[in-house]
Chains A and B, each alone.
Chain A
């Protein structure tokens, strides 16, 4: 009988080569985006800059003067990447975290409702999926409502949710996270309905031969089978939970949060402030998705590594 217990593991050299292979396209794409951004800034800001030169009576400007000036306006149509970076640096590293102008402070406000909404939405999504998978009639009766709920534009329904919850005495964090929940339960439900039904017939028959209860079949078969689906859904859910939290801050005239920062920026034409809030939101979303990915990696390793 074969007894070869040693198994081939990926060689470190192979992993290094893979890394090098990935690094080049990543750098190329990043560089292209930055170059396009700079070019876009010149193109979009040039008209305004030519006007400014004319009003200042300056006529002897060269193309390089114009380009340099379009990258250094106070309120450009499209700020250049280094302007956004400088604003980000100023409002995160240099500013006191307690300050009303600190982006860290605003991010943390948005993050708290994002996470609360995500946890609630994740739980709701899983519960709905468990119900739909186990109770036949729920699929017909519940699923259409779940899908219909997502066809309503969130921008239209967000103010109403906030007004209704406000009338019930709920203000601040809760109404914001309700909107996050509203958005992020959906991918979890859809993913988990699929995932909880993913065990193949043989695996299900095996449970039947053991006379396993529904709960045992759930915990020992359906749930572990569904976990890869859950993590895929959670990655979508956590990023749209952040979108939901930002949207929720727009109609309320919230005093704090990335949404409030966007709103204030657009009131006063502070495009650099808007863009730095946008970049911050994007960074935050990537960070959150990466965090879910990290947990997924740990869980996958605990569950045998290769699936």
Chain B
């Protein structure tokens, strides 16, 4: 995959959009009546963006990510992923998905967990081993190929699951609160590594979180969401350098954006009551 030469976000051509969502709604029909999980969502994600969905639980951020991944189907509106329907994009294996839990298969070694998607896609064994080595290196897990998941810490397991999402080299990475279950220190560390990975590979990342500092630190675009019905209430562009470090969290710019996110979340809640 090639790195994007430059990111001119002022007027992204529609063709440059990785994800294009127009008037999208999703309603779950339940016994107790319809649940409006997503309502009239509009969002454009350009190639190379790092987009975070932030909001309280029930705001539809995970649902929106799952719609992009074709794990849920929208009930109204249009969505395209890489210029295709989400179903076609899933068939093309256009995205790597990282879940809240590592979801490693306990009977497979770390290497065989990472190469699981490659096996399914029918890559030859030699190539699979090469890719496993490359991406385990990238997430700092070299030497753990033959270990089994239970022999790794939670943070290491989640890194292995990121290597698994990267190893078939999708341009789009969908991450659903991947570090939510980890402690603050490990989380900071992984955030830095993820940022470096994003900078190095030029992938488009869509990241779900409920942590304001995490969202502000990582993102080039923060999507603030609100529940009942799940909707977007603010989209904040931020232009920290791609090779930022954790220190930027002390800067006024960072605090200003964090404040705006917090205000948005608060407004969303007031709306609800």
Contact = CB atoms under 8 A, between A and B. Distances in A.
Nearest to A200: B103
A304 B104 CA distance: 12
Contact of B99 (A7, A205, A211): A205
Contacts of A202: 99-101, 103
A215 to B, nearest CB: 11
Interface in B214-257: none
Interface in A192-225: 200, 202-203, 205-212, 216, 220-221, 224
The interface centre, meaning the residue of B91, B107, B143, B148 with most chain A CB atoms within 10 A of its CB, is B107
Nearest to B150: A306
A203 B107 contact: no
Contact of B93 (A1, A2, A210): A210
Interface string A265-307: 0000000000000000000000000000000000000011111
A200 B102 CA distance: 12
Contacts of A2: 153, 155-156
A307 B70 CA distance: 31
A110 to B, nearest CB: 36
A7 to B, nearest CB: 5
A211 B144 contact: no
A216 B121 CA distance: 10
Contacts of B50: none
B108 interface: yes
Interface string A1-16: 1110101000000000
B148 to A, nearest CB: 4
Nearest to B108: A304
A227 B143 CA distance: 29
Contacts of B3: none
Contacts of B70: 208
Interface in B145-166: 147-151, 153, 155-156
B260 interface: no
B59 to A, nearest CB: 20
A209 B101 contact: no
A221 B97 CA distance: 17
Interface of B: 69-71, 90-91, 93, 95-97, 99-101, 103, 105-109, 116-117, 119-121, 140, 143-144, 147-151, 153, 155-156, 189
A211 B91 contact: yes
B71 A203 contact: no
B140 A304 contact: no
Given A208-B90, A210-B121, A211-B93, A303 B107 contact: yes
Contact of B143 (A5, A207, A220, A221): A5
A206 B150 contact: no
A2 to B, nearest CB: 7
Interface residues of A, number: 26
Contact of A209 (B71, B106, B189): B71
A306 B151 CA distance: 9
B93 A304 contact: no
A302 to B, nearest CB: 8
A303 B147 CA distance: 11
A304 B107 contact: yes
A307 B107 contact: yes
Given A206-B99, A303-B106, 12 more contacts: A1-B140, A5-B147, A206-B97, A206-B103, A208-B90, A210-B120, A211-B93, A211-B120, A212-B120, A224-B105, A304-B108, A306-B148
A195 B169 CA distance: 33
A3 B106 CA distance: 20
B90 A209 contact: yes
Contacts of B71: 205, 208-209
27 contacts: A1-B140, A2-B156, A202-B101, A203-B103, A205-B71, A206-B97, A206-B99, A206-B103, A208-B71, A209-B69, A209-B71, A209-B90, A209-B96, A209-B97, A210-B93, A210-B116, A211-B91, A211-B120, A216-B120, A220-B105, A221-B105, A303-B106, A303-B107, A304-B108, A304-B109, A306-B148, A307-B106
The 8 A-B residue pairs with the shortest CB-CB distance, nearest first, are A303-B107, A304-B148, A202-B103, A209-B97, A1-B140, A210-B120, A224-B107, A212-B120
Contacts of B153: 2
A248 B70 CA distance: 55
B140 A210 contact: no
Nearest to B91: A211
B227 to A, nearest CB: 22
